[in-house]
């Protein structure tokens, strides 16, 4: 049975650990620092996505919530592949009302994407009113998580469109260099909070997780 308390504790611990590594090794002062920052940010994003994958599996197959209470799954008795298919239905990736099973991991979605989180939460809300906490958390911290995702994608999958998405973040951050590269933005100042961007993103990620 999936324990969301344990899954959340694992995510928070990993976020703290990666935050420390960013400050020690991820400075964009040389190529080694850029490599470190790219790897660390990707690891952080994968940890976030993994958390949400199991979060929704707990609600579809059954599990325990962060408070330890039992979650009666929306689709009890389904295999993981079948439950993930229903997650795709809830997020609009498969036809509404259809049933099936994925056959390979590449068919899964980006579970940490804020829009996907909101779509699935809304789809399950009538059966689980407590999921309003997910929507509340997304409204407070979703933008920061989305910024993290944009920078991670720009680093891992560099392209003109990825660079354009990065440039759209310019009004939110103070970057010393005019090039506004992803590696520099990670350690720039977030204007609204005055915090270093990566620290602010990690704090938002942890705060989001603690709200649910």
| pLDDT tens-digit series, residues 71-116 | 999 999 999 999 999 999 999 999 998 999 999 999 999 999 999 9
User: Whose CA is closest to 183, among 197, 164, 199?
Assistant: 197
| Residues forming beta bridges with residue 196, ordered by sequence position | 189
Which residue's structure tokens are 């040389």?
30
Confidence of residue 35 (pLDDT cuts 50, 70, 90): confident
- C-alpha dihedral (106, 111, 116, 122), degrees to nearest 10: 120
User: Whose CA is closest to 173, among 199, 193, 152, 156?
Assistant: 193
Question: Among the listed ranges 46-60, 87-101, 165-179, which one has the minimum average pLDDT value?
Answer: 165-179
Q: Give me the pLDDT at residue 29, please.
A: 62
Please give the radius of gyration of the chain, using alpha carbons only, rounded to the nearest integer: 18
Is the distance from CB of 97 to CB of 76 less than 8 angstroms?
Answer: no
Which residue's structure tokens are 């049933």?
99
Query: Helix H segments across the chain?
Result: 4-25, 31-61, 80-90, 114-124, 132-156, 160-167, 182-186, 197-211
pLDDT at 176 over 80: no
State pLDDT tens for residues 201-210.
999 999 999 9
pLDDT at 50 over 70: yes
| pTM for this model (two decimals) | 0.94
The mean per-residue pLDDT over the stretch 142-150 comes to 97
> And the tokens for 20?
């420390």
Q: Give me the pLDDT at residue 182, please.
A: 86
CA distance 106 to 91: 16
Q: Give me the pLDDT at residue 37, please.
A: 85
Confidence of residue 151 (pLDDT cuts 50, 70, 90): very high
């Amino acid at each position: 049975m999936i324990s969301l308390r344990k899954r959340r504790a694992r995510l928070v611990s990993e976020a703290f650990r990666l935050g420390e590594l960013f400050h020690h090794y991820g400075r964009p002062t040389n190529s080694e620092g850029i490599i470190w920052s790219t790897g660390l940010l990707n690891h952080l994003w994968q940890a976030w996505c993994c958390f949400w994958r199991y979060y929704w599996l707990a609600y579809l197959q059954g599990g325990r919530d962060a408070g330890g209470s039992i979650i009666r799954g929306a689709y009890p008795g389904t295999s993981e592949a079948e439950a993930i298919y229903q997650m795709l239905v809830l997020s609009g990736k498969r036809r509404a009302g259809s049933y099936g099973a994925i056959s390979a991991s590449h068919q899964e979605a980006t579970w940490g994407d804020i829009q996907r989180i909101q779509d699935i939460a809304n789809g399950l809300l009538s059966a689980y009113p407590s999921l309003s906490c997910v929507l509340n958390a997304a409204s407070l911290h979703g933008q920061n998580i989305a910024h993290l995702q944009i920078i991670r994608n720009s680093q891992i999958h560099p392209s003109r469109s990825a660079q354009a998405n990065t440039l759209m973040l310019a009004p939110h951050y103070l970057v010393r260099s005019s090039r506004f590269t992803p590696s520099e933005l990670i350690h720039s100042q977030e204007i609204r909070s005055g915090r270093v961007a990566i620290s602010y993103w990690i704090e938002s990620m942890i705060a989001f997780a603690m709200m649910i």
